[in-house]
A and B are shown apart, each in its own frame.
Chain A
């Protein structure tokens, strides 16, 4: 086994162990905890342990194989997988759009200090604007947008909102990376009378890559959040957000079902982040092994 594979295997094993520990803690608390929740020092901080509030871990897993709705052919697993796949494609689209905008903005801000000073504070504030308020705006603008034969599909709104959450960490990380080129190398490029754009592509971008990778990883997970929240607030059918809402409504009768959708969403997030990490390993394989935060 090469060292990289061995490290990945150890990490995965550790992760499985950690998950098992979490499941063990869950079941233990369920066994010993008060049925209706409890208090510590007068603060009502202990959760309830009823079947409704905390289903057994094995119930959650077994729910996957049973039919989605009584009498239906489709199992929960099918439904969750289909929903996750739908949302995955939207998340990828949102991520790519966000990456394009984020990197573009970072280059603009790196080139023109004025733009950086004028725009960056608002980019920071923009992230406090709740998606719930933006989602209907994007949907209604999209509804009006018709450029030639192109009609705005409803799913594009969700991707745009994913891009909105993704572009910020990508922009910030890329900007930091572009500024990280060593002064001596910048001088070297000056001594070659290289233009700003040549310096950008031959020096600044390669130097920025170690900073861009964690930023892209954050952007990928952010895109998933944006897409799913958008699905929920715009009522978009077909995605995992919709499933979570539907199953949550049925939670009183079928408490384990909503957890299946939750697992689906969690795995979606992990897959997106994992894809970025895989690209990282490939892109950085020729570089010296040093840690960059």
Chain B
């Protein structure tokens, strides 16, 4: 009972802060009689959100699907590549500088290139972008989990004349699992953000990002922010799912 209370108690400052922020925002718009193009009130954003809910849900589904596909694909490729890298350490030398450079290159650069390479109605460019972003996050973390094992554990396995594959299965993989979940916690919201950021730069117009940008272009601020709200909720959803998956894994008797 008291543990539940302490956990809830920890959430109190966030709830209080959020409520106070929203309250102040609403009050400021009314008190200063701010025009919508200057600052939209939370109440009108909410009104737009409920009024256009079906449209919003449709757009969110498109972006969400792109994010999900990219998340899954990126995780699969990332994990596979990390196995390869842990086996052939020399590849590291080649891949790392490229990875660091790719990380530094702004995202829209790749988006523009990809949009050019595919037809205008294709969702593939967004999925590739998400896959890439997720791939690097997963790769870095899982590779670290596979290679940074305690030398004592490895020595123990060798004293049992265990093969490399056995060491992989019994020591490295269990060690890497928490790293995978850490990666997912970062990658899940990143996937959502990447999915709709990729939509700003042309291509198909069905997702959240393009809706937001077109509403802004038409000065429909309340509607645009309603879509923004949907984007935030989508990101939160992905993040929560990854946190839940992590805690489920922990309960299943895995490490600390």
**Which residues in A have some Cβ–Cβ distance to B below 8 Å?**
10-12, 14-15, 17-19, 37, 44-45, 47-48, 52-54, 114-115, 117-122, 124-125, 127-130, 132-133, 135-137, 140-141, 144, 217, 220-221, 224-225, 228-229, 232-233, 244, 248, 251, 255, 258-259, 262, 265-266, 268-270, 272-274, 293
Contact = CB atoms under 8 A, between A and B. Distances in A.
Contacts, number: 151
A43 B228 CA distance: 30
B38 interface: yes
Given A117-B14, A128-B235, A293 B94 contact: no
19 contacts: A14-B97, A15-B101, A44-B122, A44-B124, A54-B117, A115-B13, A117-B14, A118-B13, A118-B14, A118-B16, A119-B17, A121-B14, A125-B236, A130-B209, A133-B225, A232-B200, A258-B112, A266-B109, A270-B101
A269 B104 contact: yes
Nearest to A140: B38
Contact of A272 (B12, B104, B192, B231): B104
Given A45-B124, A233-B200, 11 more contacts: A14-B97, A17-B94, A53-B116, A120-B14, A128-B193, A133-B216, A136-B37, A221-B105, A225-B107, A225-B108, A228-B108
Pairs A-B, 7 closest by C-beta atoms: A118-B13, A47-B117, A273-B104, A118-B17, A128-B235, A15-B97, A117-B13
A130 B100 CA distance: 25
A246 B209 CA distance: 21
B101 A127 contact: no
B98 A18 contact: yes
- Listed residue (B38, B225, B234) with the most chain A CB atoms within 10 angstroms of its CB: B38
A270 B105 contact: yes
Nearest to A130: B212
A233 to B, nearest CB: 7
B117 A53 contact: yes
B200 A229 contact: yes
Nearest to B232: A128
Given A14-B97, A18-B94, A221-B103, A129 B228 contact: yes
A127 B197 CA distance: 12
B196 interface: yes
Given A14-B97, A128-B235, A229-B108, A48 B117 contact: yes
Contacts of B200: 130, 132, 229, 232-233
Contacts of A19: 98
B80 interface: no
Given A15-B97, A128-B193, A228-B106, A140 B37 contact: yes
A128 B106 contact: no
A114 B232 contact: no
Interface of B: 10-14, 16-18, 21, 37-39, 93-95, 97-98, 100-101, 103-109, 112-114, 116-119, 122, 124, 144, 189, 192-193, 196-197, 200-202, 209, 212-213, 216, 221, 224-225, 228, 231-232, 234-236, 239
A122 B118 contact: no
Nearest to B35: A140
B232 A132 contact: no
B213 A258 contact: no
A149 to B, nearest CB: 23
